[in-house]
Amino acid sequence: MTFTTRPEIMGTFGVCASTHWIASAVGMKLLEQGGTAFDAAAGMGFVLHVVEPHLNGPLGDMPALIRLAGEDAPHVVCGQGVAPAAATIAHYRAEGLTLVPGSGLLATVVPGAFDAWMLMLRDHGRLALRDVLEPAIHYARHGHPLLPRVAATIAGLATFFRTEWPSSHETWLPGGAAPAPHDPFRNPVLADCWDRLLAEAETAQTRVAQIDAARRAFAQGFVAEAVDAWMREACVMDAAGGRRKGVLRGQDMAEWQACYETPLCVDYGGWTVWKCGVWSQGPSLLQALRLLDGSGIAGDDPAGAGFVHRVTETLKLSLADREAYYGDPAHTAIPVETLLSPAYAQDRRALLGAQASHLLQPGRIAGYEAWAEAAIVRARTETDAGPGIGAGEPTMAHLTEHRGDTVHVDVIDRWGNAVSATPSGGWLQSSPVVPGLGMPLNTRAQMFWLDEDVPGALAPGRRPRTTLSPSMARAPDGTWHAFGTPGGDQQDQWQLIFLLRLVHGGANLQEAIDAPLFHTGHLQASFYPRDIRPGHLMIEPAFGPGVIDDLTGRGHKLEVADPWSVGRLTAASRRADGLLRAAATPRLMQAYAVGR
């Protein structure tokens, strides 16, 4: 089976790929100014906050993997904020909740994206803060063509914004009318915020001092003060159907900073693959590779039913372990070594059968059996809650326009520095705009459970187990790859398929992205109302009727998507001889890869 594919973008100067063409162009501009991949990624990130406000914002979250030229392994930049000091299970239950709402103010954790960008920029960039922020300020002040999906999201929530979230109505419906698709859209309040931040930062004399001053202005100065004042007074409607006040305070922001961590990794087929820690869902991809190693996947046709079935059943097992065992390792002892061990994978591999499983089957690890049982009980517990206003994080056009999502950035510069970053949160539809800032807060707390006895339990100072999952890999010939995708619970599913097509299928970056994709909903959803779809498998029709019929016969509950509607992967690579490549999905006609 063959598929029409776009060519890869090549370059020797630098390559950028992102989920919006404007951001990719800005990244290339910053590389051409002499910036590193870290300057370019940060500039792209701030532009994405402006041009895709339904997918990410400065008060959201941002994990990244970064590789410094010449180093043998990447580092994690953790921009995942923690639960506020007053975010206790007792408080949320006193509010009448059994789940953390998917929108509104109680769903907020400490904003992490801004400080993560600043940390990366300060330590590894070359350009001035003004150079990096000015493109975002330009598009916020002078306008950018509004994506049809953004316009549809705003129009669909116009009445709700007017009656419940007036600060959002003022920002997203200027003059009271919903903006039209492709019309220039401006956010002057956000532009003013960044201008003020720059003015305060530039009172310092050096580049590093200016970035540190910007971090203080954000976490301890006027930005934190605006958030604190808003959160003390606001009482807004959320996805659970009640008007509730939030618990985030300026002191929570002042006490948290982004940090560096060592990533987790496994070797597979001569490749080495790196992911963020178990506070993300990234290790589920590593576990899947362990399960697939020696399974016969190398002999499967990557466009065939056997491949789809084997990968899907493997993902069901690794994602079941995600739900049972993942959480913030700074607060809970997680059995990471066991989860990623070949011996554990061998035991789990025995569960891979010829028919589709409809059971949630986390592994049983000695001493942690209660966590596995709790995950099974949760999966059996039905909720009457609908998704609610502004809840969830689906990705593709076949899903509702009113729900949030994510963006992704890959950059490699001429020296070999590389970034894979997945900013998210702060969606326009999920939290009201903070007055005076032009940006909404995040809703990442919805990934906590209100159950004290599990690793994903809500607790002050704890990171939620996020879905955000950037990736890096090194091939046997020394080629470095940075890749990722938006997509909530689908992120590591699509990335696994992409990676397997590189490792076993001989595809190039663009071919691996363009080939038809699939994913399963057979998992405990990370987003409110945390549902599960036993046996579900969504698949693009390009696989063909024979494959679809075969999978139906194996017991999968097939949902055939619209053509070209699943997945939003981007990728960049650098060969050992310095040749650079980048690729981006044609799906939704938003992503872009550029190089020179």
Work out the pLDDT band at 1, boundaries 50, 70, 90: very low
Work out the pLDDT band at 285, boundaries 50, 70, 90: very high
Mean pLDDT to the nearest integer, 68-76: 98
pLDDT at residue number 593:
96
**Lowest-confidence range among 156-160, 204-208, 277-281, 405-409?**
405-409
**Lowest-confidence range among 175-189, 349-363, 382-396?**
382-396
pLDDT per position as a tens digit, 124-141: 999 999 999 999 999 999
pLDDT at residue number 396:
33
66 vs 334, 348, 417, 483, CA distance in Å?
A: 24, 32, 8, 11
pLDDT at 147 over 90: yes
pLDDT at residue number 2:
42
pLDDT at residue number 401:
38
pLDDT at residue number 399:
31
Decide if 363 contacts 348 (C-beta within 8 A).
yes
Q: Which of 52, 58, 554, 561 is nearest to 307 (CA)?
A: 554
Burial 232-241 (b: 16+ CB within 10 A, else e): eebebbbbbe
Q: What average pLDDT does the structure give for the chain?
A: 95
pLDDT per position as a tens digit, 8-27: 888 777 999 999 999 999 99
Global pTM?
Answer: 0.96
pLDDT at residue number 539:
98
pLDDT at 402 over 70: no
pLDDT at residue number 161:
98
pLDDT at residue number 532:
96
Element (H, E) at 440: strand 439-440
Decide if 386 contacts 529 (C-beta within 8 A).
yes
Work out the pLDDT band at 382, boundaries 50, 70, 90: low
Mean pLDDT to the nearest integer, 432-440: 98
pLDDT at 360 over 70: yes
C-alpha span between 433 and 168 (Å, rounded) = 5
Work out the pLDDT band at 380, boundaries 50, 70, 90: confident
C-alpha span between 289 and 499 (Å, rounded) = 10
pLDDT at residue number 398:
31
Work out the pLDDT band at 386, boundaries 50, 70, 90: low
pLDDT at residue number 13:
79
Mean pLDDT to the nearest integer, 470-494: 98
- The residues, any chain, with a CB within 8 Å of residue 480's CB and separated by 6 or more, are 67, 412, 416, 418, 472, 473, 474, 573, 574
Work out the pLDDT band at 289, boundaries 50, 70, 90: very high
pLDDT at 400 over 50: no
C-alpha span between 450 and 462 (Å, rounded) = 13
Strands 580-584 and 570-574: antiparallel
pLDDT at residue number 325:
98
C-alpha span between 268 and 167 (Å, rounded) = 50
- The answer to whether the peptide bond before residue 529 is cis (omega within 30 degrees of 0) is yes
**Lowest-confidence range among 320-334, 381-395, 436-450, 557-571?**
381-395
pLDDT at residue number 10:
82
Comparison of pLDDT for 402 and 257, the residue scoring more: 257
pLDDT per position as a tens digit, 228-255: 999 999 999 999 999 999 999 999 999 9
pLDDT at residue number 505:
87
Strands 557-560 and 536-539: parallel
pLDDT per position as a tens digit, 534-586: 999 999 999 999 999 999 999 999 999 999 999 999 999 999 999 999 999 99
C-alpha span between 362 and 371 (Å, rounded) = 9
pLDDT at residue number 557:
98
pLDDT at residue number 385:
60
Mean pLDDT to the nearest integer, 449-465: 98
